[in-house]
Structure 1
Amino acid sequence: MKLIQERATARRGRLRVAYSAIGAVLLVFAVMIVVKLGSGAGGGAKAPSALPTGAAAAEIIQGVTTVPAATLDAVGKGGAQVLPSPITGQAALTDGGKPLILYVGAEYCPFCAAQRWPVVVALSRFGTFTNLGLTTSAADDTYPNTPTLSFHGSSYTSQYIAFQGVETTTNVRKNGQYQPLDKLTDAQAQILQKYNAPPYVPQESAGSIPFMDFANKAVLAGATYSPELLASHTHAEVVAAIKDPNSQLGRAINGNANALTALICRMTGAQPADVCSSTAVKAFQGEFTNVGQ
């Protein structure tokens, strides 16, 4: 499967953070042109443009955190093909008495860039984000400059679940290394070490980022769809696609968001009722029946 092969290739680079630079920037008549020097997946991406700020940034955040229920219902399963893997026999992972979802990624990572979109769409159905940022994946990684969000500096509030989003590095190298960003707590590091490995995730995905732990009820290592779908898109274009239930990108993002929503509903005892009884969630009826509540 193409996506699994991509994950395996990406994992080796993610663990060593040793990709060589594949691009150089030339200024010609005041126009920035990115010249790709090496081969790699995701070619044909646009040169990075300035990130949206001010009202434009706020509009993007508003768009991704308030996807209409009717749009999500219309998508149903959409492009969801890779689902989190249920695990059993583990002590519940909680924070403040609520089921805890842990996300570990990095801003340079294109697979993380892809996965943040459905994660934010899904979690926004259960609570509220504050200070979400906009960024792109690294210019010198596969699928360069993939538009995305960032959990660095953000917070999340919900009466149903708790969320911890960790971005371990930036998307900029210094002396060959991506610069540190968020530091894992000891507890987060222990979760990552234990559950981002067999038997909890497949051998070919072990060690991949993004990594997600859903209250020790299910785990996910890697992205659920290919960053290639985001190639050459701006942040605004991604949000426009999310609002369109007929677009390929919108179906991929919203379909995977619906899958995550259905899983989270198993963790919350089917609360809130309007979300967990929706057509979007019912599309995954039977997929997570062995996930304990």
Structure 2
Amino acid sequence: MMAEDIFKIRSISQFHELVGLEKPKHPLISIIDVSKVKLDNKWLGKRFSSSLYTIALKDASCAFEYGRNHYDFNEGVMIFTGPDQVMKSNQEQPVTPINGWMIYFHPDLIRNTSLGAYIENYSFFSYDVHEALHLSDEEQTLVTDIMKMIRQEVKERIDNHSQRVIVSSLELLLNLCTRFYERQFNTRTAKNKDIVSQMESLLKDYYQSGKLAEIGQPSIQYCADELHLSPNYLSDLLKKETGRSAKDHINDFVVDKAKTLLLGSTDSIGEIAYSLGYNYPHYFSRFFKSKTGFTPQEYRIQN
């Protein structure tokens, strides 16, 4: 396999085989003791993606790469990944065992359940690793107790009730992690306010540089990349801090600029539309009315 290739893990069984574990007790979910994972040296430095969801708690130093970035954690953190995300086994992994656990589960486990219908709303599955959830000792104990309950169910009780019990336990775990992330946002208020200010400055610079007129509104991905965050984390952080998502911030900025141009210049509606990145003035008019309740012309006349 060439270094630039991405190795695809498609099942729980395939993952167990890859890391040297015995066959899984359940075909769609596995709970793994991280200290027992042994990856053959031939896989170090290779990139992986999987069809699985992962929830991991690691309470000792671990080093690895995610995307193009390297991370080294020295405290208990929870990391979440969704299907098709790419990770890399780092050659600088420590010789001493890493303590912790990982839950891997296939989307088929939650298909046709309430969790399956809702799981896309747990945006932290798309956070970057450096946006991991840092837990208190009490929180760490709580999530580990739920993990143990799931592990016991997988190990001893595969019956007609197993899937319901396992899925409801996963849902409880994820709901608690949503609460813990909200606590993390709250305890990092100063840093979060700085991100809000950076977002505002980014949008101003984008407009002043002429990019808005040249290439249109910035995407959430563009803003996130500029601020070194994942799109979901940026939007969640802004939502928590201001009540408005990243998309809301972008839209509000464009509306504010439109209002300024409508009242502070004699430019035509078409010229203003073009300066705000709209190739077709009627798209701009439709957008403006959806946000203000007025067409651009009505707003100009009434003000």
TM-score class, shorter: under 0.3
Higher-strand-fraction structure: 1
Higher percent of residues as helix: 2
Q: Which has the larger radius of gyration?
A: 2
- TM-score, reference length from structure 2: 0.24
Q: Higher relative contact order by CA 8 Å / sep ≥ 6: 1 or 2?
A: 1
Task: With the length of structure 1 as denominator, give the TM-score of the two structures.
Answer: 0.25
